[in-house]
Structures are given as structure tokens and as C-alpha cells.
Structure 1
Amino acid sequence: MTARILIFRGGWAGHDPVPTSELVAKTLRERGVEVDIQDTQACLLEPDLAERYQVIVPVWTMGEIGKAELQALIAAVQKGVAVGGWHGGAGDAFRQSTQYQFMIGGQWVAHPGGVIDYRVNIVQHDHPILKGLKDFDMHSEQYYMHVDPNSNVLATTTFDARHAEWIDGTVMPVVWTRRYGKGRVFYSSLGHVIADFERTPEVLEITVRGLMWAAGVL
């Protein structure tokens, strides 16, 4: 089966939505996945959305989503289309939409200290998204998120007291999967800017594998 993925991008430019999505799309294509990229939410209103795509990927930090576009996205996922994404493009998109957050399974609320050094710990070593990967270090934003407990956590990070002493020892999900209706959901809080993908190979690998898993081809 040849998978087809739709990336729609926009929102805050500080998360490099264009270069990150171009790199992810390039890598997916190299692995046999078809990828369409749109710079508008109008693509969500296409009548054959659920028939054309196996995965929809929002890369849209902050911003707002139209009511009709949101309902089309939600309906597609509930019918069985997967949704996936990374960092703020998916985990800090459409802040005013609790329905969207319910689907993704989490929402960014803080990154204490800004860009810092931290470690990512693999929880499920045998899951296809993380198989063969080991714990690794990041120099980026360590996302503190409000996370739905009804998710399958694949990797975590542990906060210390350097920038907020009251969260010392908090174990926070970094990568998770879940289900929304009949659709698969994949999310990774990694990938703040294009440099994260380029200097830490695990970031790109987890993202690409996660979207392929969501598409059912991993």
C-alpha cells in the first residue's frame, strides 16, 4: 500500500514551519510515501479528504482554525484518517480549540529556561517508532505540556529544578500515540526549529517513523 500524507502549514513562523515540513516531506518521499503540502487550511474542506489521505499533519503553531475546517479535520480523523505532528506545529496549534487539543492529546504550556540541555528517555524500546533508538540528549526547548492520560507514552523527559524548582523530578511525555475515534494519533514534542532536525538525527527519525506508523506503513 502506498500511503499519502497531507501537510498543511502556517501560523507562527518562529517554529520554521516551511523548512521543517519540507525536510520531513523529503524524507517521507525517500521512503516511498506520497506527500502533499498546502499553505492553507482550505485543503481540509476538500470533499474527498478522507479518501485521498491516510494522515493529516498540522504544522500551524498558534493561529486559529476556521470552524468548518476544524469540523472537517475532526470528522476525517473520527472516520479513520490519522493525524500526527511535532512540537508547536501540532502541540501548540489553535490554542482556543479544546476540541483540537482533545484529539491531539496534549497542549504546550511552558518551556522553562527556553533553549536548554535535556535528555530524552525511551520508554518503549520495541515500538516500531523507537525500535533501535537509545536515550539521547537535546539542546532545545523542553516542552512542559498538559497531557491526556489516555495516551500510549513512548518517550519521556524529566525536569529538574534549574528553572522552576516546583517541577523538579516531573516526568513528562515527549512522544505518544493514541486513538481518536477510528483514527490513529502520533505526536512528538521534539523539533523546535530546523536545526533540531539537522543536528539531532533522532528528531527526524522519530517524526518520520511516527507519521509512517500513523499511515499504517511502518
Structure 2
Amino acid sequence: MREALIVWGGWSGHEPELCAKIYRDWLEEDGFKVYVENTTEAFADPSIHDLSLIIPIFTMSKIEKEEVANLTAAVESGVGLAGHHGGMADAFRDAVDYQFMVGGQWVAHPGNIIDYRVDITRPDDPIMAGVNGFAYRSEQYYMHVDPSNEVLATTSFTGDHASWIEGVTMPVVWKRRHGKGRVFYSALGHVSAEFQVPEMATILRRGINWAAR
């Protein structure tokens, strides 16, 4: 049986505990044995190297050097890493090794909660199969991203809330490798209610399963 670890905490505005429950339900339905922790100390446990998947939901916050070192080593050795929004790509802002592994870092969401569009760039990828571009209402993440990411979906900025970024196309969903490990990320999902959006949920659930070894 594949085993997954969900580690939640950090800024409460992203509803990490509620999101962790959704992930847990999905993974158990998909045949995983799931462990849930709410402290970064879980990342320092040597046993994480035996897992199939790790899901961080830990916006901002701090991570100790030994914790991030063990986490990144586990992914390099083949453990999958997957997650969403600020819970994965705005966690541990001072940990560059973590950001290198994730493939991106949040820097802004001009206009806060707004209406925007998600465009599918890789309809041939199994994660995106049958998913068409869709309208979305949430924070539109502006990110610093790794050019080695395999981008599956993007969004475009209008410039209404920051004129100098008008026309910028920004990755929303990507997958990548970090050593032997698979890494999947979706910028969607500011709060747990967004998991009810069919396209968001389909992409994320497929993505976490893709990442798991």
C-alpha cells in the first residue's frame, strides 16, 4: 500500500486543516494509507524517505535546517511532493532549498479575490485530459517560477490592478522533477471551498496521484 504524509499548519487564512481533511479523504479513497501531522518536525523524521507522497499545507512559517534538509533529500531520493496555492508555494520564505524543489514562489496577488481565467496549455497530458479552460474566482497568483517546470496551465493578467504586468502570462499548474522525485503544484485553492470547483479538484487530485511513487 502506498503511504502519504500531509503536514498542515501556518497561516490560518488558507484553512490548512480543512484542506488536509479533503486531501486525506481523496487519498484514502485512492488506496493510500495516510498520516497527518501539524508540525514541521514531521519533515525531520527519517521514515519519510519510505513514503510515496508528501503534501505540505504550511503557508509562510519557518522550517528548521535539519527539517528542510531531510525533506529535500527524501524527494531527491524518489518521494513525491504535491500541493496547492500558498500552502506549498508560499511556505518557508527563507528556505531557498525548499523553493528550488517546489519550482516557484508566490510574490503577489494583485486585486486580491478577483475573476480570471485558467487556460490549459497541455491538454495532451493525462493530468489535464478532458479539462477545458475555465473561469475562476480567487487570488490570481503572480509567482517567480523555475523555467524548467513543465507548465500544464496558465493565466493572463489584465493590468487592472497593476498596470505594469498587463498581458503577462503566468503558470498556474506545473509538474517537475527534483532528483528522482516527482513534484506537482497548482496555484488554485485559496480556501477549502474552492475544492468544490470541478476543474480545480480534478486537476489537483490527478496531480497528487501523478506525483506519488
TM-score by length of 1: 0.95
Quote the residue 2:149 is aligned against.
151
Q: Relative to structure 2, which stretch is displaced further, 40-49 or 102-111?
A: 40-49
Name the SS for the 2:126 alignment partner. coil
CA deviation vs aligned residue, 1:96-130 (integer Å, no higher than 9, x gap): 11111111000000000000000000111121111
Aligned residue type for 2:175: T
Q: Give the number of equivalent residue pairs.
A: 213
Quote the residue 2:81 is aligned against.
83
Quote the residue 2:205 is aligned against.
208
Aligned residue type for 1:26: D
Give ranges in structure 1 of 5+ residues lacking alignment. Answer: none
Contact 2:46 2:70 in 1 (8 A): no
Quote the residue 2:104 is aligned against.
106
Quote the residue 2:175 is aligned against.
177
Contact 1:185 1:214 in 2 (8 A): yes
Return the offset for 1:28: 2.1
The aligned runs of 1:184-199 (5 Å cut-off) are: 184-198=182-196
Contact 2:54 2:82 in 1 (8 A): yes
Aligned residue type for 1:56: I
CA RMSD of aligned residues (A): 1.0
Return the offset for 1:45: 2.3
Name the SS for the 2:6 alignment partner. strand
Which of 126, 133, 145 aligns to 1:135? It is 133
Give ranges in structure 2 of 5+ residues lacking alignment. Answer: none
Return the offset for 1:181: 1.2
Name the SS for the 1:129 alignment partner. helix
Q: Tell me the distance in 2 between the aligned counterparts of 1:112 and 1:170.
A: 13
Quote the residue 1:95 is aligned against.
93
Return the offset for 1:41: 1.7
Aligned residue type for 1:163: H
Q: Relative to structure 2, which stretch is displaced further, 39-48 or 156-165?
A: 39-48
Identity %: 51
Aligned residue type for 1:24: Y
Quote the residue 1:28 is aligned against.
27
Q: Tell me the distance in 1 between the aligned counterparts of 2:37 and 2:176.
A: 25
Name the SS for the 1:145 alignment partner. strand
Q: Tell me the distance in 1 between the aligned counterparts of 2:141 and 2:79.
A: 27
Aligned residue type for 1:177: K
Which of 52, 65, 69 aligns to 1:67? It is 65
Contact 1:54 1:81 in 2 (8 A): yes
TM-score by length of 2: 0.97
Aligned residue type for 2:166: D
